[in-house]
A and B are shown apart, each in its own frame.
Chain A
Amino acid sequence: MQQMQRRGFLQWLTGLLGAAVCSVVGLPGVKYLLESLGRGRRTARVVQRVARLADLTPGRPLLVAVTARKQDAWTEYAQHVVGRVWLVKSGGDGGVQAFTAVCPHLGCTIQAGADGKTFVCPCHRAAFDAQGRRLPSSATGQENHAPRDMDALACRVVQDEQTGEAWVEVTLEQFVPGLRHKVARG
Chain B
Amino acid sequence: MLERLNRWLDVRLGHRRWWGAWRARTLPASPSWWLTSGSLVFWLLVIEVATGLLLMASYSPSLATAWPSVSYIERTAAGSFLRGVHYYTAQALIVALLVHLIRVVACGIFRAPRELIWVTGLLSLPLVLTWAMTGNPLSGSQQGLAQVAVEAQIVGSTPGVGPTLSRLLLGGEDVGHLTLVRLYFLHVAVVPLAAAALLALHISQVLRHGLAPRENNQQPSAPVPYWPYQSVRNMTVLALVVGIIALLAWRYGAPLGAPADPDLPHHPRPEWYFRALFELRRHFTGEQELIATLLIPTAVLLIFLTFPLWDGLFGRRTASLLRTSTLLAGLAGWGWLTGMSYHRDLYDGEYQASRKQDRIWAERARALAARGVPPTGPAELLRNDPQTQGPLLFARHCATCHPWLDKHGQGLAASEASAPNLYGFGSRQWIEGLLDPERIASDHYFGRTAFAEGEMVSAVQELAAGLEGDELSARRKQLRLAAEALAAEARPPEAPPEARRAAAGRVLIAGELGCTGCHRFHSEGELGTAPDLTGYGSRSWLVAFISDPRHDRFYGERNDRMPAFAPGPDDARNLLSQRELALLADWLISQQAAPSDTPRPTPAAAPQLTSR
A: residues with CB less than 8 A from B are 33-34, 36-37, 39-42, 49-52, 55, 57, 60-65, 67, 72-75, 81, 84, 106-109, 111-112, 114, 116, 122-124, 143-145, 147, 160, 163, 174, 177-178, 180, 185
Q: What is the size, in residues, of chain B's interface with A at 8 Å between Cβ atoms?
A: 49
CA distance A174 to B610 in the complex (A): 20
Cβ-closest chain A residue relative to B283: A143
Q: Which of B149-157, B220-228, B245-253 sits within the interface?
A: B149-157
5 contacts between A and B (CB under 8 A): A34-B168, A36-B168, A41-B172, A72-B63, A106-B153
Please tell me if the beta carbons of A37 and B609 are within 8 angstroms of each other in the complex: no
Stretch binding the partner chain, chosen from B24-32, B173-181, B297-305, B516-524: B173-181
User: Is the beta-carbon distance between B172 and A39 smaller than 8 angstroms?
Assistant: yes
A67-B611, A67-B612, A122-B354 as given contacts; A72 in contact with B176, CB under 8 Å: yes
Please give, as numbers and ranges, the residues of chain B lying within 8 Å of A62 by CB-CB distance.
608, 610
Q: Which single member of B156, B167, B563 contacts A37 (CB below 8 Å)?
A: B167
- A65 contacts B612, C-beta separation under 8 Å: yes
Tell me if B178 and A36 are in contact (CB < 8 A).
Answer: yes
Complex CA gap A73/B61 in Å reads: 13
**In the complex, how many angstroms separate the beta carbon of B267 from the nearest chain A beta carbon?**
4
10 additional A-B residue pairs with CB within 8 Å, beyond A36-B171, A108-B149, A122-B351: A36-B167, A39-B171, A63-B609, A64-B612, A65-B610, A75-B177, A109-B262, A145-B281, A177-B153, A185-B173
Partner of A163, one of B289, B351, B573: B573
Residue pair A107, B612 in contact (C-beta under 8 Å): no
Q: Which residue of A lies closest to B568 (CB)?
A: A163
Cβ 8 A contact of B168, one of A33, A74, A81: A33
Residue of B nearest to A112 (CB): B608
Interchain residue pairs A-B with the least CB separation, the first 7: A40-B172, A65-B611, A72-B176, A122-B267, A73-B177, A106-B153, A63-B608
Chain A residue contacts of B156, Cβ below 8 A: 178
Contact status A122-B266, CB under 8 Å: yes
A-B contact count (CB 8 A): 122
Shortest beta-carbon distance, A130 to chain B, in Å?
14
Determine if B146 is an interface residue (Cβ-Cβ < 8 Å): yes
Does B172 lie within 8 Å of A147, measured CB to CB?
A: no
Cα–Cα, bound, A162→B168 (Å): 47
Q: Given the complex of chains A and B, what is the CA–CA distance between A143 and B575 in angstroms?
A: 37
Does B153 contact A40, Cβ atoms closer than 8 Å? no
- Judge whether B575 and A52 touch: CB under 8 Å: yes
Whether B146 lies near A64 (C-beta < 8 A) is: no
Question: B231 in the interface, Cβ–Cβ < 8 Å?
Answer: no
B149 pairs with A107, CB closer than 8 A: yes
Q: Does B512 belong to the interface (CB within 8 Å)? A: no
Partner of B154, one of A37, A106, A144, A185: A106
CB distance from B164 to the nearest CB of A (A): 6
Residues of B within 8 A of A147 (CB): 285-287
**Residues 232 to 273 of chain B near chain A (Cβ within 8 Å):** 262-263, 265-268
Interface residues of B in 552-584 (CB under 8 A from A): 563, 572-573, 575
The residue from B64, B149, B173, B572 contacting A42, defined by CB atoms under 8 A apart: B173
CB nearest to B163 among chain A residues: A176
* Minimal Cβ-Cβ distance residue in B for A39: B172
Most buried by A among B265, B267, B609: B609
Q: How far is A63 from B607 in the complex, measured between Cα atoms in Å?
A: 9
Interface residues of B in 158-199 (CB under 8 A from A): 164, 167-168, 171-174, 176-178, 182
Chain B residues within 8 Å of A37, by CB: 164, 167-168
B-side contacts of A144, CB under 8 Å: 285
Minimum CB–CB distance from A111 to chain B (whole Å) comes to 6
Contact A108 B150 (CB under 8 A): yes
**B350 close to A (CB within 8 Å):** yes
What is the chain B residue whose CB lies nearest that of A42?
B173
Closest to B397 in A: A55
With a CB–CB cut-off of 8 A, which chain B residues contact A177?
Answer: 153, 157
- List, in ascending order, chain B residues with CB within 8 A of A143's CB: 282-283, 285
A116–B267 Cα distance when bound, in Å, is: 17
- Residue with the highest number of chain A CB atoms closer than 10 Å, among B176, B182, B604: B176
Q: How far is the CA of A114 from the CA of B177 in the complex (A)?
A: 34
Q: Which residues on the A side are within 8 Å of B6 (C-beta)? A: none
Smallest CB separation, B252 vs chain A (Å): 26
Interface status of B415 (Cβ within 8 A of chain A): yes
Q: A65-B610, A65-B612, A108-B268 are in contact. Are A40 and B171 (CB under 8 A)?
A: yes
